[in-house]
């Protein structure tokens, strides 16, 4: 139970720089929706960061998606304390910070960590199954506070931003979630990619219009 972060054989999937893509967009700090944006449109691409999900039990499977509306402007935050899954979830503005977080979470056996570039700024070790700290509650509370202060200092305005990331993989909250297989659209349980075709975009636009934009 103290060896659940096994990441010897993973690679960071590529991230598209142009074209239209599917993203998770935050509606509230917990509820999401499926959106399609044009990465070459500055307005649509504003506040879009990477979200990487890795199976941390050693399969090497990983999926790179995009997250809109979280607010992070610098560095990366990662967690193994995600709800309902053994995935590691990392949100970040650059791949170097994301890789620093991944390495640190592996070193400490799981938990949460925030990095800027090659530097770990704050962390919460949770080595028991990657979700439970062995420290006294007062120390854990202080580590949580420091992590959330770092996220808010660097652009995140949501209340309890760690919880926002922890719940991005759970099926308990609508509408679009994420796993190491891809995005998951809960209403029909479809596994979706980031890339889309013109036909998919047209169908999505029509569906959104008929549903009142939801």
Distance (Å, whole) CA 171 – CA 177: 7
Buried b (16+ CB within 10 A) or exposed e, 54-88: bbbbeeeebbbbbbbbbbbebbbbbbbbbeebbbb
- For residue 101, is pLDDT > 70? yes
Number of H helices, E strands in the chain: 5, 11
Tell me whether residue 150 is in a domain. Answer: yes
Tell me whether residue 168 is in a domain. Answer: yes
Taking only the tens place, the pLDDT of each residue in 22-62 is 999 999 999 999 999 999 999 999 999 999 999 999 888 99
Asked if residue 97 lies in contact with residue 117, where contact means CB atoms within 8 angstroms, the answer is yes
Tell me whether residue 4 is in a domain. Answer: no
Looking at per-residue pLDDT, the higher value among 81 and 212 belongs to 81
Tell me whether residue 6 is in a domain. Answer: no
CA distances from 91 to 114, 198, 211 (A): 10, 28, 29
Tell me whether residue 182 is in a domain. Answer: yes
φ/ψ (deg, to 5) at 108: -95, 0
Q: Which tokens is 53 given?
A: 């999900």
Tell me whether residue 201 is in a domain. Answer: no
- For residue 213, is pLDDT > 60? no
Facing residues of 49 across strands?
67
- For residue 148, is pLDDT > 90? yes
Taking only the tens place, the pLDDT of each residue in 107-131 is 999 999 999 999 999 999 999 999 9
Per-residue pLDDT averaged across 84-96, rounded? 96
Four-point Cα dihedral 195, 79, 116, 35, nearest 10? 30
Tell me whether residue 205 is in a domain. Answer: no
For the chain, the domain total comes to 1
**Domain of 189?**
20-196
């Amino acid at each position: 139970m103290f060896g659940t972060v096994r990441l010897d054989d993973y690679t960071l999937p590529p991230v598209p720089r142009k074209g239209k893509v599917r993203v998770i967009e935050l509606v509230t700090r917990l509820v999401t929706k499926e959106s399609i944006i044009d990465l070459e449109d500055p307005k649509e691409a504003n506040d879009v960061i990477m979200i990487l999900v890795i199976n941390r039990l050693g399969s090497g499977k990983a999926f790179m998606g995009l997250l809109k509306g979280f607010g992070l402007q610098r560095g990366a935050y990662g967690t193994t304390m995600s709800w309902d899954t053994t995935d590691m979830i990392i949100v970040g503005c650059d791949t170097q910070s994301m890789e620093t977080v991944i390495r640190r979470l592996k070193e400490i056996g799981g938990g949460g960590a925030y990095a800027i570039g090659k530097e770990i700024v704050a962390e919460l070790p949770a080595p028991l199954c990657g979700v439970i700290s062995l420290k006294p509650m007062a120390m854990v509370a202080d580590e949580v506070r420091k992590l959330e202060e770092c996220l808010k200092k660097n652009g995140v305005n949501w209340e309890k931003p760690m919880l926002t990331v922890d719940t991005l993989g759970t099926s308990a909250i609508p509408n679009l979630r994420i796993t190491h297989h891809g995005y998951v659209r809960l209403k029909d349980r479809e596994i979706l990619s980031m890339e889309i075709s013109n036909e998919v975009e047209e169908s999505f636009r029509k569906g959104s219009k008929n549903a009142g934009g939801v």
